[in-house]
Amino acid sequence: MPGAPRLAAIATAVPPYRLDQPEIERLAERVFDRKTSEIQRLLPVYANAGIETRYSCVPVEWFFMPHGWRERNALYVDRALDLVCTAVRRCLACAGCRPEEIDGLVVVSTTGIATPSLDALLIDRLPLRPEVARLPIFGLGCAGGVLGLAPAAAMAREGRTVLFVVVELCALTFRRTDSSKSNIIASALFGDGAAAVLIRSDCDGPVLGASGSYTWPDSLDIMGWAVEDDGLGVLFSRDIPNLIRRDIRTVTDRFLRGCQLTRDLIRHYICHPGGAKVVAALEDALELGDGGLDDARVVLRRYGNMSAVTVLFVLERHLHRGLEGRALMLALGPGFTVGFQILET
């Protein structure tokens, strides 16, 4: 019988164009119309975001030009495949695994569309065996880096060697004609990145244990995409930190009780850093104290919010340092939903 699914290796990748936050703040004054937007009032969000650098799949000049759906999505498919292949090859090299050994492939992404899906395109690009089991997942947003692990682990429980891949190119969703507060704040937060995780049962890595989620009733307008003629328009509520402070402790405790656990039995919290205020709200609500989520802050500072990818960058930091004891992965995304994943060492 196959053993429990374990994390055998993880690797990450970012695209070549580095964005320094002070530069982006200056550029924002030029990109956004001062008469039709609140850019002057909102300029402090760039300095207060807790971000120093981010990475983009397109150069800065791209943000000053108009772009339609067709161009954006063609760039998404091309750049996402390049970035994913870099992360996957690093991951396989770390594990000493060959592409032809992969039996299952789960790909999470919400910043573009592809039919055939990215997983199908990766079969030829890597290359993988034609028999590989495939599962593309769209629409989970920032929660996808946690919620996507459960179906990947389910594949691995059958004795398969599984690749879990996440890629988000948030830069391609920027629309210069959108003067909304949400779009301005998004331009101060989001970056691009990819991560690959190898999951198998015949290794010594952390065990992928119980998983779960909770979706708040009547919360569909808190976070998501608005499909516009020229691309995807970002939607998120300013009330997210308050919602976290009010509810996340109760929701987390409920999940842990279902696993016969309590928060005092969790040694590590591996959380998606949606923003500086979100990290602080999670520390407060989960009673972690100041600095309890420092790894999340470091990732946010160096890479920004890469949507679903970000929590895997945080996981990589924990694993490289040596993850000992039980960990809880947590990420919030559209729905409005929180995803949970227990790791056991």
In a domain, 270, yes or no: yes
Return the SS3 of 308: helix
Number of structural domains (the chain) is 2
* Within a domain: 240: yes
Q: Which two tokens stand for residue 310?
A: 């970000």
The CATH code of the domain that includes 31 is 3.40.47.10
Q: How far, CA to CA in Å, does 271 sit from each of 10, 193, 298?
A: 16, 17, 12
Q: Do 286 and 255 reside in the same domain of the chain?
A: yes
Distance of CA 89 to the CA centre of its chain: 19
52 in a structural domain: yes
97, 142, 170, 271: which is the annotated catalytic residue? 142
Among this protein's residues, is 85 annotated catalytic? no
The mean of the pLDDT values for the chain is 94
Angle at 197 between CA 191 and CA 200, to 5 degrees: 170
Kindly state whether residues 255 and 295 are assigned to the same domain. Answer: yes
- The pLDDT score that the predictor gives to residue 36 is 66
Instruction: Select from 200, 215, 231 the last residue of a domain.
Output: 200
d(CA 152, CA 107): 9
pLDDT digits (tens, 9 = 90+) for 40-94: 888 888 999 999 999 999 999 999 899 999 999 999 999 999 999 999 999 999 9
Spatial distance between the Cα atoms of 76 and 57, rounded to a whole number of angstroms: 9
Decide: helix, strand or coil at residue 215: strand
Same domain, 87 and 187: yes
Q: Note the pLDDT of residue 102.
A: 98
Give the range of the structural domain holding residue 16, as residue numbers without chain letter: 6-200
> Do 225 and 79 fall within a single domain?
no
Are residues 159 and 26 part of one domain?
yes
Residue 324 lies in a domain: yes
**Do both 283 and 162 map to the same domain?**
no
- Give the phi and the psi of residue 255 in degrees, each rounded to 5: -60, -45
> Which residue, 152, 179, 200, sits at the end of a domain?
200
Summarize pLDDT for 168-218 with one digit per residue, the tens: 999 999 988 888 888 888 899 999 999 999 999 988 899 999 999 999 999
331 and 296 within one domain? yes
Domain-located, residue 1: no
Q: Are residues 126 and 216 in the same domain?
A: no
Over residues 272-287, mean pLDDT: 96
The predicted-structure confidence for 92-138, as pLDDT tens digits, reads as follows 999 999 999 999 999 999 999 999 999 999 999 999 999 999 999 99
- Predicted TM-score of the model (pTM): 0.96
**Is there a domain that residue 272 lies in?**
yes
Question: Of 200, 222, 240, which one is at a domain's C-terminal end?
Answer: 200
* Residue 3: pLDDT band with limits 50, 70, 90: confident
Q: Are 234 and 292 in contact (CB under 8 A)?
A: no
Per DSSP, the three-state class of 202 is coil
| Residue 213 belongs to a domain | yes
Query: 132: exposed, middle or buried (C-beta count within 10 Å: 0-12, 13-18, 19+)?
Result: buried
Instruction: Tell whether 193 and 226 lie within a shared domain.
Output: no
Say yes or no: 238 and 318 in one domain.
yes
Mean pLDDT, residues 318-343 taken together: 95
Residues 138 and 260 in one domain: no
Is 282 part of a structural domain of the chain?
A: yes
Same domain, yes or no: 105 and 239: no
For a pLDDT cut of 70, what percent of the chain falls above it? 99
